[in-house]
Amino acid sequence: MTELSAHPAIETPSTAPPASYWTLAIRKMLRPWLVKIFAAYIAAVLLISLTVPLLASGKPYAIDIHTGNGWVTRYPLFADLTTRDYLTFIAGAVIIGIVVAWRLTRVVEMMRRRSLRLGIAGVLIGAGILGGSALAILHHNRFDGTDYRALIKSGMAKNAIFAPIPWGYAEMEPLSKNAINELPSWHHWLGTDRSGRDVLARMLWASRVAMGIGFVSQAIALSLGIIVGAMMGYFGGIFDLLGMRLVEMVEAIPTFFLILTFIAIFGRSILMIMVILGVTGWTGYARFLRAEFLRIRQLDYIVAARATGMPLWRIMFRHMLPNGLTPVLVSASFGLAGAVTIESSLSYLGIGVRPPTPSWGGMLNAAGNPATVFHWFEALPPGLALFLIVLAFNIVGEALRDAIDPKSLS
């Protein structure tokens, strides 16, 4: 018989910092391998969308060019990047830096941790704003029409280092080569489209449009939904009555036709589509948060916070919001999928982003239509990418919902 332990468990202070609710929920969400794969896919697409100017470009990172004064090293890719590209890099780096700092400072003792985190975030954001504005003032990208491949062939340039995918999204093979609608080859890994452009390069660039529209529109929608939902749920009464009527009115707007109308009047603009999707898409979040706030505001810990005389905004946004946000975030992952779908539909119809900017929907359209020949190898990659990203958002959203279900959180 095994010996029964006679001593009570001695409480030893664990060295690891206690896992917060969110850490637990995300860990649990990622437990199934399928969710891991799809979360990794989303992360990869996000990373590609942020770094694509460095991944797919017809301009070499560095090249030695023969000029009147001998050989000179040039950096055409970096000179060719727009200010917006650089600002995107800076913003991405600041966000990633803050996330990493957040994780690393978990071991710091609680009272100092908060000021440390705020300090690091402040420094990073400050550096980002400074660097960004310096760049915006100093950096001018000029149109660079040089064909570096022709230069190399003619012996006027050498030692070129190209990006992994050495094609720009709008770079066409010369008409003389007649390289349109080519099947995949070593030269063009996913073939070329009807204008002789590299499909893989366009695929990667298109992730920018998809992610941009998804995240920006949902960020707008979330902010609006959280503000309106929190007000309705916390104050109730007349706020609730008017807020819900507003929600119903906005829900009655047909988003797709609104976008079509705006495009007809103001012309195409990706930013406009983002804003319209955001301004019409917040109602679901507001409803969720309202319901959560109605439930949470009666809980004892909120009564306790009021009893200690906490200010209203603190109760709403530090005590209630973290507890009511989870269902909203679950629905945000479905909202992301929806926004990506709408953008690709618009692009498929030819009223999304302005050509030659690629988008998965536009590429699907370009693969063929009843009037022309259908090229399946041009339709498959964007179709698959679109299908997988929407599926990934839905699967991760479902997993998050299961993970935060109080009946299953262990």
Partner 1 sequence: MTAIENQTSNVQPSMEPILNVENLNVWFPITGGILGRPRGWVKAVNGISFSVQPGEALGIVGESGCGKTTAGRAILRLLPRGSAHISGHVYFEGQDLYALKSRELRAIRRHAQIIFQDPIGSLNPRMTVGAMITEPLLVHKIITRQKVRAHVAELLKRVGFDADAAYRYPHEFSGGQRQRIGIARALAVNPRLIVCDEPVSALDVSIQAQVLNLLADLRRELGLSYVFIAHNLAVVEHFSDRVAVMYLGKIVELGPAHSVVSHPSHPYTQALLSAVPLPIPDRTTGRTVLQGEVPNPANPPSGCPFHPRCPLATAKCRIEMPPIEIKRGDIAHTAACWNVE
Interaction residues for partner 1, span 20-49 (CB under 8 A): 20-21
Nearer to partner 1, 118 or 134 (CB): 118
Pick the piece of the chain touching partner 1 (CB under 8 A) from 17-25, 31-39, 274-282, 363-371: 17-25
User: Least distance to partner 1 from the beta carbon of 90, Å?
Assistant: 32
User: Least distance to partner 1 from the beta carbon of 9, Å?
Assistant: 12
Tell me the C-alpha distance between 63 and 161, whole Å: 6
Side-chain half-sphere exposure of 319, counting CA atoms within 13 A: 21
Note whether 111 binds partner 1 by CB under 8 A: yes
User: Least distance to partner 1 from the beta carbon of 109, Å?
Assistant: 8
Nearer to partner 1, 50 or 403 (CB): 403
Pick one of 97, 236, 327, 368: the residue that binds partner 1 (CB under 8 A). 236
Note whether 18 binds partner 1 by CB under 8 A: yes
Pick one of 2, 11, 69, 145: the residue that binds partner 1 (CB under 8 A). 11
Binding-site size, partner 1 (CB under 8 A): 28
Pick the piece of the chain touching partner 1 (CB under 8 A) from 14-22, 120-128, 204-212, 385-393: 14-22
Name the residue among 285, 287, 282, 261 with its Cα closest to residue 272. Answer: 261
User: Least distance to partner 1 from the beta carbon of 233, Å?
Assistant: 11
Nearer to partner 1, 54 or 310 (CB): 310
Structure tokens at 59: 């301009």
Nearer to partner 1, 286 or 325 (CB): 325
Pick one of 304, 349, 384, 391: the residue that binds partner 1 (CB under 8 A). 304
309 dihedral zone (left: phi>0; alpha: psi -120 to 50; beta) = left
Pick the piece of the chain touching partner 1 (CB under 8 A) from 57-65, 139-147, 292-300, 390-398: 292-300
Note whether 308 binds partner 1 by CB under 8 A: yes
Tell me the C-alpha distance between 153 and 161, whole Å: 15
User: Least distance to partner 1 from the beta carbon of 27, Å?
Assistant: 14
Pick one of 71, 75, 102, 301: the residue that binds partner 1 (CB under 8 A). 301
User: Least distance to partner 1 from the beta carbon of 78, Å?
Assistant: 44
Note whether 298 binds partner 1 by CB under 8 A: yes
Contact 329, 141 (CB under 8 A): no
Return the SS3 of 67: strand
* CA 139 remoteness from chain centre: 25
251 dihedral zone (left: phi>0; alpha: psi -120 to 50; beta) = alpha
| Strands 70-74 vs 157-161: parallel, antiparallel or unpaired | unpaired
The CA distances from residue 130 to 50, 127, 137, in Å, are 20, 5, 11
Nearer to partner 1, 20 or 154 (CB): 20
Nearer to partner 1, 73 or 308 (CB): 308
Structure tokens at 70: 């001998």
Nearer to partner 1, 49 or 326 (CB): 326
Q: What strands lie across the sheet with 157-161, from one edge to the other?
A: 70-74, 62-67, 157-161
User: Least distance to partner 1 from the beta carbon of 31, Å?
Assistant: 19
Beta bridge partners of 157: 65
Burial (CB count within 10 angstroms: exposed 0-12, middle 13-18, buried 19+), residue 267: exposed
Contact 279, 262 (CB under 8 A): no
Binding track over 314-353 against partner 1, x by CB under 8 A: x----x--xx------------------------------
Please name the amino acid found at residue 245: R
DSSP, residue by residue, 316-336: IIIIIHHHHHHHHHHHHHHHH
Tell me the C-alpha distance between 115 and 123, whole Å: 12
374 dihedral zone (left: phi>0; alpha: psi -120 to 50; beta) = beta
Nearer to partner 1, 132 or 229 (CB): 229
Pick the piece of the chain touching partner 1 (CB under 8 A) from 50-58, 256-264, 302-310, 329-337: 302-310
Pick the piece of the chain touching partner 1 (CB under 8 A) from 151-159, 301-309, 363-371, 388-396: 301-309
Query: Could you list the residues that contact partner 1 (CB under 8 A)?
Result: 11, 13, 17-18, 20-21, 110-111, 236-237, 297-301, 303-311, 314, 319, 322-323
